[in-house]
Amino acid sequence: MPNDDLDPDVSANVAQPCCIRCGRELVSLRSQRLNYGHECWSAILAASRLPEIRESAWTFTQLDNAIDLMREGGIMLWRKSSRNLIYRSVATDGVTFYLTTVQACNCPAGRWERSCYHRLAVTILQLSIETARVRRQLERRKAS
């Protein structure tokens, strides 16, 4: 007799897709394709237009690659350490993974201490989270 807990055909074993940025359940098909909810994806795009990103050393090609990486769900939170968040970034081959923080990445470019689009994606993701947090704090202050 098969064990239903391990049967991939049992619908209860299928996890509901969740937003990579906030962890909320994704309901719409568009959000499931993006791996982000509408508000989170809008926040990511807004963060990619901030002066901290546009006026930095990253190139437009790296910015496009970082947005594509996030759009394809190629970056996800791997572990929280005491100092920062560590993400898993998918390489261009779609098989290899790199560990990435805002400060460093173990991809070939990162090992030579050069800027890589994996770090840029993490930076944009972190900026989108930080700006949303600050906006919520301001809204709470206005409400009270």
Range of the domain at 51: 37-143
pLDDT score, position 18: 85
Is residue 120 domain-resident?
Answer: yes
Is residue 83 domain-resident?
Answer: yes
pTM of the predicted model, to two decimals?
A: 0.79
Is residue 21 domain-resident?
Answer: no
Count of domains for the chain:
1
pLDDT score, position 143: 84
Is residue 137 domain-resident?
Answer: yes
User: For residue 18, is it left (φ>0), alpha (ψ between -120 and 50) or beta?
Assistant: beta
pLDDT score, position 34: 85
Largest CA distance in the chain: 62
Cα distance between residue 66 and residue 24, in whole Å: 22
pLDDT score, position 15: 63
**In this predicted model, what pLDDT tens digit does every residue of 135-144 receive, in sequence order?**
888 888 888 7
Is residue 128 domain-resident?
Answer: yes
Is residue 15 domain-resident?
Answer: no
Is residue 9 domain-resident?
Answer: no
Residue owning tokens 């770090």: 119
Mark the ranges of the chain whose per-residue pLDDT is less than 50: 1-13
Q: Is 2 exposed, middle or buried (0-12, 13-18, 19+ CB in 10 A)?
A: exposed
pLDDT score, position 6: 43
User: Per the structure block, which two tokens stand in for 37?
Assistant: 């909810």
Is residue 92 domain-resident?
Answer: yes
Closest CA to 120 of 99, 100, 92: 100
User: Per the structure block, which two tokens stand in for 120?
Assistant: 């840029």
